[in-house]
Amino acid sequence: MNIAIAVYGSPTTSCAHRNALGFVRAALAAGHSIERVFFYHDAVLVGSALVVSPQDESDFGLQWATLAAHHGFELAVCVAAALRRGILDATEAKRYDRGSGCLREPFELVGLGQLAAAAIDAERLVTFI
């Protein structure tokens, strides 16, 4: 089964990322594929390269990046939600005359249409709030 994931909750104040990562790992272990992981609302904070997690806390950005690299799925960050929270890639930094971007690799800024496309292309859309 091909599954799309939407994550809405903050990486620091909700269990959304922990639960989504656990679900994705279990789905992959069961032989399913992940179409795309779409980060929206406060979940976009996971894409910031400027966040440093304390040693005794999970680095969800690193965990997502490692999992996506190993299994070849996209980490899509809503551009509107990211800009509102100060997360820009190099293109948006240039557009808005900011010194540099802070989007962590391999996260990508995309439009909300990518969530709709993932929902259409996948057999299931699972949301974590």
pLDDT tens for each residue of 23-64:
999 999 999 999 999 999 999 999 999 999 999 999 999 999
Structure tokens belonging to residue 84:
């509102």
Does the active-site annotation cover 102?
A: no
Listed in sequence order, the residues at least 6 apart from 128 whose beta carbon sits closer than 8 Å to its beta carbon are 5, 6, 7, 8, 9, 16, 17, 19, 20, 23
- Dist CA 31 CA 35 (whole Å): 13
Q: What pLDDT is attached to residue 46?
A: 98
Segment 60-86 mean pLDDT: 98
The CATH number given to 2-128 is 3.40.1260.10
Per-residue pLDDT at 91:
96
Instruction: Give the end-to-end CA distance of the chain in Å, rounded to a whole number.
Output: 22
Residue among 34, 44, 75, 78 flagged as catalytic: 78
Q: What is the pLDDT of residue 113?
A: 97
Helix (H) or strand (E) holding 13: none
- Sequence-ordered list of residues with C-beta below 8 angstroms from that of 29, at least 6 positions apart, any chain: none
Average pLDDT over residues 101-127: 97
pLDDT band at 81 (very low <50, low <70, confident <90, very high): very high
The pLDDT value recorded for residue 129 is 96
Q: Going along the chain, which residue ranges are E strands?
A: 2-7, 33-39, 74-78, 108-110, 124-128
